[in-house]
Every structure is written in structure tokens, then in C-alpha cells.
Amino acid sequence: MALVDIIAGARPNFMKIAPIIKAIDSLKANNKLTYRLIHTGQHYDAKMSGDFFEQLGIPKPSINLEVGSGTQAEQTAAIMISYEKVLLKSASDLCLVVGDVTSTMACAITAQKLCIPVAHVEGGIRSGDWTMPEEINRLVTDAISSFFFTTSAFANANLKKVGVRQEQIFFVGNTMIDTLMETSERMTPPDFWEMLSLEPKNYFLLTLHRPHNVDEISTLSALLNKICESARGKNVVFPIHPRTAKVLDNVSSIPDNLCLVEPQPYLQFGYLAKNTKAVITDSGGVTEEATVNGVPCITLRDSTERPETVEIGTNELIGTNIKNIKSAFELIFSGHWKKGSIPEMWDGKTGYRIARILETIL
């Protein structure tokens, strides 16, 4: 039986691994695959990690590297040192990493240097923006991965451009969307829903955590003011990422219609994202969910590694200039935002496809 290390470290990883784990468990009787779930501990709060395990039915990790916070280099180094010890004590047959967080890159390097093949779920996507740590993580991970499970034709083309062979690429769809579809019926309003008198399609949902948007008090403050002004008095629900919270503590005036709430568990965030009038975000995953929910999505970035959310879905990149915010909201209020459709293979069966392919290649 082949042993796969499944790596998860930060919040956006958890919804991506859940369907893969479920699929491997469902194929247990074949006696071909088994796994070891490794949590690096990059995210460690209940609100950033534990709640997701519980709501998504992810088993307790076999190993927690408990690396915690640090600079990019400190986190990378700490994960590599700890994961190498695990592998030296007991090697696996394949290291499966997902997404683009620091844990993804650090574990991929560690495994491949010990000649353990690496499979990258969500391989091949590119924003072209090297100021984002995630883009560096994608480039490095893809440069040394052995197999690629991809979400789009765009990702496939990017990999081929740099010489990856067709037989290394498996176009399987999007595991994050598996989770979205599987949990859709279980999504429930957060406890503040009634307190804030929220109603479907009568509020906006905001998420911001990119250094470019949140690290400077003046930038963050100007963004929040413009968004709330453009929302014409409707509530703007803002679950605050810990990185943003640190800066927000020093912002002197908060608009009246900005509802600051803690990072939300998966099922409550999902409920907010499904029922909102529109999402305003600088995240990548949130744009994919908006596309599948058919909800208008304004992205405060100049580039995206997920162009299908713009070309096929409901997402528009308006850049980071606050001057563009008002007109985007006007388009939403006028009811003329594009409708969008769902990208190929985003059908809720990606985890199963991945597990079947792993059975074959191992």
C-alpha cells in the first residue's frame, strides 16, 4: 500500500484537502492508498484552523509540526526542518501539497530533496506578480513537482510553456468547489446575522488581507471609507484576518456601516458568501466561490492567478486604485453586473478524480 503525505498548513488549504481525504477513505477497500495528514501549524488559531477541521470532518492530523507565526523565511525554514525530521524517521511514497501557501512550498522542497515525488494540487496557476509571496510559492513548487492536478486550461498551458510533460499533468477541476458543493445545504447564518438585521442580497461581504492593501494604515483606511461610502448605507460585513486586525487597531475612524466580525468558520462564511449582494475581496479562493455561487465579485488587485473567474465567472479586477470602487458598486446597484457561468470540471468530483489517479500512478 502506498503512503501519501497530505500537507495542510493555512486556512485556504483545509477546504482543499477535505475532499481528497474523503475520496481516499472511500477507496480504502482497494488496499492501494493510505495517507498521513501533516499539519504544519502555519495557522494555529481555532478560528483559522480548528473550526475548519471540525466543520469539514477532517480527521485529526497524524502529525502537527506546530511552526506558528514568523517571517516568510522563518516559517519556510521551520517547516522544512520539522518535516525533514518526519521523513527521515519514516519516509512516505508521495508528498501531496495544495495551493500556494508557505507550507506548500516548504514541504515540496523538503520531500523532493529526499527523492520523494511531489504532487501539486492547483498546480500551474500564475498571477505574474512576483511581489506576492504566493506567486513565489507557486513558481518554486511547480518547478520541482512531479505531478500536477490542475483547475483550468490556463494552468495546463502555463505548465506546458515551461516544459512540463503532458503525462505529468492531470486536469481534474477544483477541490475547493467540491467542498463548497458538498457543504452547501449545511451552511448556516453566523450568530450576528439577526443582531445586524442582515437579509439576503441586502448587505456586502468584504475580505482583505494582502500586504499591499492592509499593511499601511492610510491605504486600509482609505479603502474601507470608499467601500462603505459606495455601499449606500448597506451593511458591509468584514470578517477580519489576524494580519488586518493588527493594522485596524490603529485606524481612528471606522465607517458606521462597516460590521467588523471575527474570522468566520467555513459554514458561516459560506452562508454569508452565498447570500451577499456582492463580494469585495483581495483573496483568490473567494473569487472562485463567488463564481460558483453566481454572486458579483469585485477584486481589489491588479492581477489574478485565476483568470477563468473573470473570463467565465462573475469576477472583475478593478485594481487597487480607490477611484475605481464607486463605479463598480454602481454597476452592481444597477443590476448590470455580468452573470457568468461555471468553469469546466468544477463539478464537485475533483477529490475522487485525484484519488483514482493517485492509485494509478503509485
Stretch of 85-93, 95-103, 153-161, 227-235 lying at the interface with ligand UD1 (CB under 6 A): 95-103
Q: Which of 133, 184, 324, 333 binds ligand UD1 (CB under 6 A)?
A: 133
Pairing outcome for strands 33-39 and 2-8? parallel
Stretch of 41-49, 79-87, 88-96, 320-328 lying at the interface with ligand UD1 (CB under 6 A): 41-49
Active site residue 39: no
69 counts as binding ligand UD1 under rule CB under 6 A: yes
Q: How far is the CB of 93 from ligand UD1 (least distance, A)?
A: 26
Q: How far is the CB of 220 from ligand UD1 (least distance, A)?
A: 14
Residues in region 274-293 near ligand UD1 by CB under 6 A: 283
Of 346, 287, 318, 300, the C-alpha closest to 12 is: 287
Distance of CA 210 to the CA centre of its chain: 13
Contact 341, 313 (CB under 8 A): yes
SS3 232: coil
Q: Between residues 1 and 251, which has the closer beta carbon with respect to ligand UD1?
A: 251
- Round to whole Å and give the CA distance between 109 and 289: 29
- Round to whole Å and give the CA distance between 347 and 151: 11
C-beta neighbour count of 191 within 10 angstroms? 9
Q: Between residues 212 and 243, which has the closer beta carbon with respect to ligand UD1?
A: 243
16 counts as binding ligand UD1 under rule CB under 6 A: no
- Round to whole Å and give the CA distance between 199 and 110: 48
Q: How far is the CB of 73 from ligand UD1 (least distance, A)?
A: 11
Q: How far is the CB of 280 from ligand UD1 (least distance, A)?
A: 16
Q: How far is the CB of 342 from ligand UD1 (least distance, A)?
A: 22
Question: If you write DSSP's letter for every residue of 115-161 in order, what string do you get?
Answer: T--EEEETTT-----TTSHHHHHHHHHHHH-SEEEES-HHHHHHHHH
Question: If you write DSSP's letter for every residue of 295-320 in order, what string do you get?
Answer: --EEE-SS--S-THHHHTSSEEE--S
Q: Which of 27, 48, 139, 318 binds ligand UD1 (CB under 6 A)?
A: 48
Q: Between residues 48 and 332, which has the closer beta carbon with respect to ligand UD1?
A: 48
The radius of gyration of the chain from alpha carbons, rounded to an integer in Å, stands at 20
* Residues in contact with 261: Cβ distance below 8 Å, sequence separation at least 6, in sequence order: 190, 192, 237, 238, 239, 240
Q: Which residue among 39, 209, 241, 336 is the active-site one?
A: 209
Could you say which DSSP state residue 205 is in?
A: E
Going across the sheet that includes 94-98, the strands are: 63-64, 33-39, 2-8, 94-98, 118-121, 147-150, 169-171
306 counts as binding ligand UD1 under rule CB under 6 A: no
Residue with grid cell 493555512, as numbered in its chain: 10
Q: Which of 51, 134, 305, 308 binds ligand UD1 (CB under 6 A)?
A: 134
51 counts as binding ligand UD1 under rule CB under 6 A: no
Q: Between residues 4 and 286, which has the closer beta carbon with respect to ligand UD1?
A: 286
Q: How far is the CB of 11 from ligand UD1 (least distance, A)?
A: 4
Number of residues that bind ligand UD1 (CB under 6 A): 20
Q: Which of 16, 22, 39, 43 binds ligand UD1 (CB under 6 A)?
A: 43
Q: Between residues 141 and 283, which has the closer beta carbon with respect to ligand UD1?
A: 283
Active site residues: 209
Which residues of the chain form contacts with ligand UD1 (CB under 6 A)?
10-12, 42-45, 48-49, 69, 100-102, 133-134, 209, 241-243, 283
